[in-house]
A and B are shown apart, each in its own frame.
Chain A
Amino acid sequence: MTDTTAPTGRAGATPARKGSLLQVDALTRKRNAAETRFKIYGLSAVGIGLLFLVALLATILSNGTSAFTQTFITIPVPLEKTEIEAAEKSIVKTSKYRAIIGKAFANVLSSAGVETDMSAKDLDKMMSSGAAASVRDFVLANPESIGTTHTFDLLASSRVDGYLKGRVTRADLVNDKNLDASHLDIVDRLNAAGILQKRFNWQFIFGADASDSRPEQAGIGVSMIGSFFMMLVVLVLSLPIGVAASIYLEEFAPKNRFTDLIEVNISNLAAVPSIVFGILGLAAFIQFAHLPQSAPLVGGLVLTLMTLPTIIISTRASLKSVPPSIRNAALGVGASKMQSVFHHVLPLAMPGILTGTIIGLAQALGETAPLLLIGMVGFIASNVPDGVAAGFLDPNSAMPAQIYEWAKRADPAFYERAWGGIIILLLFLMTMNIIAIILRRRFERRW
C-alpha cells in the first residue's frame, strides 16, 4: 500500500498557490475554459455525426415517399369486338389499342366538360406508353369482356405524375417535347373532376422494372425476389460453413502455422474491398466454372464468400463466451470433445451465432459493387421467375443493383424510384437488425 496524499501547497515552494480553495484562481479558470472548449468540440463532433444521419434519413424520406403513390386516369373503354379483332390482326397491336384508348379518353374529356383542340396523339402523351399493353392483357385474359365497356385505371405518364407530385413545374416544361402547359391545364381540370388521381402504388412494390421510357411502370418487386434467392444461397452456405469453421478454430485447432494462416486470412478477408470479391466471382464462377451470368446463384456465392469472415468472427466470439466449465462438465461425465461441443457449447452459443448471421445477411443484402461485375445490373428484370430453379439460375437483378440502375438513368422520374427503393431496402435492413437485437436481448446469457 503506497497510496499517499500529501498537501503540497507548502508556503514558499509555490507562492502563487497560496490562498483559499474556495476561490478559483486565474490559471485554473483558464484551464477550465480550455476544458469546456474541448468538451464542446467533442459534443459538436457527436452532433455533426447525428446531423448527417438526420440529413440522410430526411433526404431519403422526402425524396422517396412519393414513389409509393402513382397517378392513375380512370377511363371507361368500350371494348368493341370489331376493333379488337382488327387490332389483334395488325402487326403493331398495341398502337391500335392506343387508338381505342385515345378515343375513350377524348370521350371522357368531353363528358367532363374539358374543351381542348389537342390532337389525339398529343392527348396520348398524358398516358403511360404501357397503358395500351395493360388494356390488351386484360382483354386477352378476359375474352368474355369483349363487347362490354370496362372501366380501366390507366397509368398517367411520368410527367403528369411528376406534376401532381410537384416534381415537374410549368417552367420545366418549356423545353420539354412531350408535354406543354396546355396539357397541365387539362391535368388540373381532370384532377378536380376526380378522373385523375393519386393512389397507393402497389406496382412499385411488387412489379417489375420497366424500360427507360416508362418510369411510371417501374417496380422493385422482381429484383426483391432476386435478392431473396441470393439471401437463401448466402444463408444456406454461410451459416453451416461459418459455424463449422468457427468450431474448428475455436475448439479444435492446434496452435500451429496452419491455424495462424487461417486466422490471418480471415481477418484480412474481412477488410478486402467488396469489389475484389466481384472480380473473384467474375473470374472463378463465370469465366472458369461457366455458371450463368446475372444469376442470383452466382450473386449468392460471391456474397457468401464476402460475408463468411463476418460470420466466422462473430460466431467465434459467441463460442468463446460459453464458459469452459460447461465443456469440462460434459467431458467429466465421459462425453467426447466432439459431443461436448455439439451437445452443449453450440446450442448455448446459438443465439449469438444467429445474431451474427443476421447482421452478416443484412450486410450482404445491401452490397452492390460485386453484383455489378457479375452482371446483375443493366438487366431489365421484367419477369417474375417461374419456379425455384429459375429463381436461382435465371438472370435477375437485386434490390441495390436495381437502385443503382435507376440512379444511372437519365429521366429524373427514375430518381424518385431509386429513393423509394432505398426506403424498401432500409426497411428490410431495419427489420433484420431489430430481429437480431431482439434475439440478443431475449436469449443471450451473461455468464
Chain B
Amino acid sequence: MNEMPVVDAEAGTLLPKISASKVQVFYGETHAIKDVDLKIADRTVTAFIGPSGCGKSTFLRCLNRMNDTIDICRVRGDIRIDGEDIYDPKVDPVQLRAKVGMVFQKPNPFPKSIYDNIAYGPRIHGLSRSKGDLDEIVANSLQKAASTRRSRTGSTSRERACPAASNSGCASRAPLR
C-alpha cells in the first residue's frame, strides 16, 4: 500500500474537493492502509493504479464510508469533502453516500426489472417529484449508457446497463417495467 501513487491536486486555485491526510485502515489486526495523503480537485478525473490487493478499493470505500458496514474495519485519519470531515459524528453516512456514489468492480444488479434497478437510487433519495420525472431519469440514463456502449466495444458497460436477472441469464429479456 505504501507504493500507492499520490496525485496532487494542482488544477484550480480552489480548495480541493476531496482531501485525505494520514488515512489508516485496519481490518482487525491487519494494517491495510498506512498514511495516505491525497488531494483531489473538483471536476477532474483521477485514477488509482496499483497491483491487485494493494488497497485501491479499500481507500475508495473510505470516501463514502462503505467500510462502516464491515464490523472489523476501522478507519483513522482525516478525510474531507468540501472541507467537511466525513467521519464527523454529525455526518449521516446515508446522506454522504447519496453525495458520493460508488460503482463496484463486479456488476451487481438487484433482483428487479431494469427500470427499477435504474430508478432505485433516485427513488430512495427522493430525486423525483412524480412518475414522469422518474421515467425521464430512467430514459436518460439508458440512452447515455447506450451511447457509451456504442463508443466502446467492451462488454462491461452492457452488463452495467442491463441487469441479467441472475437466473434468466439473458439480459435482454429482463423486463423494463
Complex contacts, A31 vs chain B, CB 8 Å: 94, 124
For residues 69 through 86 of chain B, which have their beta carbon under 8 Å from a beta carbon of chain A?
81-82, 84, 86
- Is A272 positioned at the interface, with any CB of B under 8 Å from its CB? no
Complex contacts, B18 vs chain A, CB 8 Å: 7
Complex: A1 Cα to B86 Cα, angstroms:
24
Given A5-B60, A7-B81, A31-B124, decide whether A21 and B103 contact each other with a Cβ distance below 8 A.
no
Complex: A381 Cα to B168 Cα, angstroms:
62
Does B102 contact A22, Cβ atoms closer than 8 Å?
Answer: no
Of chain A, the residue at the smallest CB distance from B80 is: A21
Complex contacts, B126 vs chain A, CB 8 Å: 16, 27
- Is B151 positioned at the interface, with any CB of A under 8 Å from its CB? no
Complex contacts, B90 vs chain A, CB 8 Å: 22-24
Complex contacts, B104 vs chain A, CB 8 Å: 2-3
Of chain B, the residue at the smallest CB distance from A26 is: B126
For residues 21 through 52 of chain B, which have their beta carbon under 8 Å from a beta carbon of chain A?
42, 48
Q: Which of A3, A7, A32 contacts B99 (CB 8 A)?
A: A7
Bitwise interface map of A from 1 to 42 toward B, beta carbon under 8 Å scored 1, else 0: 111111111000010110011111101100110010000000
Complex contacts, A16 vs chain B, CB 8 Å: 126-127
- Is B133 positioned at the interface, with any CB of A under 8 Å from its CB? no
Does A2 contact B81, Cβ atoms closer than 8 Å?
Answer: no
Q: Which of A3, A7, A27, A32 contacts B103 (CB 8 A)?
A: A3
The minimal Cβ–Cβ distance linking B126 to chain A, given in whole angstroms, is: 5
Given A6-B100, A31-B124, decide whether A1 and B92 contact each other with a Cβ distance below 8 A.
no
Does A17 contact B99, Cβ atoms closer than 8 Å?
Answer: yes
Does A28 contact B84, Cβ atoms closer than 8 Å?
Answer: no
Given A7-B17, A7-B81, decide whether A22 and B98 contact each other with a Cβ distance below 8 A.
no
Complex: A31 Cα to B102 Cα, angstroms:
20
For residues 82 through 141 of chain B, which have their beta carbon under 8 Å from a beta carbon of chain A?
82, 84, 86, 88, 90-92, 94-96, 98-105, 124-127
Does B60 contact A21, Cβ atoms closer than 8 Å?
Answer: no
Does A21 contact B81, Cβ atoms closer than 8 Å?
Answer: yes
Does A27 contact B125, Cβ atoms closer than 8 Å?
Answer: yes
Q: Which of A1, A3, A6, A21 contacts B96 (CB 8 A)?
A: A21
Does B105 contact A5, Cβ atoms closer than 8 Å?
Answer: no
Complex: A309 Cα to B134 Cα, angstroms:
53
The minimal Cβ–Cβ distance linking A17 to chain B, given in whole angstroms, is: 7
Q: How large is the interface on A (under 10, 10 to 19, 20 to 34, 35 or more residues)?
A: 20 to 34
Interface size of B in residues (CB-CB distance below 8 Å): 33
Does B99 contact A8, Cβ atoms closer than 8 Å?
Answer: yes
Does A5 contact B100, Cβ atoms closer than 8 Å?
Answer: yes
Complex: A354 Cα to B165 Cα, angstroms:
43
Of chain B, the residue at the smallest CB distance from A22 is: B90
Q: Which of B17, B82, B88, B92 contacts A28 (CB 8 A)?
A: B92
Given A3-B57, A5-B101, decide whether A24 and B63 contact each other with a Cβ distance below 8 A.
no
Complex contacts, A14 vs chain B, CB 8 Å: 127
Complex contacts, A2 vs chain B, CB 8 Å: 103-105, 156
Complex contacts, A21 vs chain B, CB 8 Å: 81-82, 84, 86, 88, 91, 95-96, 99
Of chain A, the residue at the smallest CB distance from B104 is: A3
- Is B149 positioned at the interface, with any CB of A under 8 Å from its CB? no
Complex: A21 Cα to B18 Cα, angstroms:
13
- Which residue among A9, A25, A32 has the maximum number of chain B CB atoms within 10 Å of its CB? A9
- Is B158 positioned at the interface, with any CB of A under 8 Å from its CB? no
Does A4 contact B103, Cβ atoms closer than 8 Å?
Answer: yes
Complex contacts, A9 vs chain B, CB 8 Å: 98-99
Does A5 contact B102, Cβ atoms closer than 8 Å?
Answer: yes
The minimal Cβ–Cβ distance linking B76 to chain A, given in whole angstroms, is: 19
Complex: A20 Cα to B48 Cα, angstroms:
27
Interface on A for B, CB 8 Å cutoff? 1-9, 14, 16-17, 20-25, 27-28, 31-32, 35
Interface on B for A, CB 8 Å cutoff? 17-18, 42, 48, 56-57, 60, 63-64, 81-82, 84, 86, 88, 90-92, 94-96, 98-105, 124-127, 156
CB<8 Å pairs between A and B, sample of 14: A3-B104, A5-B60, A5-B63, A6-B101, A7-B99, A8-B98, A9-B99, A20-B84, A21-B86, A21-B99, A24-B90, A27-B126, A28-B92, A28-B94
Since A3-B60, A25-B95, A32-B94 are in contact, a sample of 14 more A-B pairs with Cβ atoms closer than 8 Å, ordered by chain A residue number, is A1-B105, A2-B103, A3-B105, A4-B60, A5-B64, A7-B17, A8-B100, A21-B82, A21-B88, A21-B91, A21-B99, A22-B91, A28-B94, A32-B92
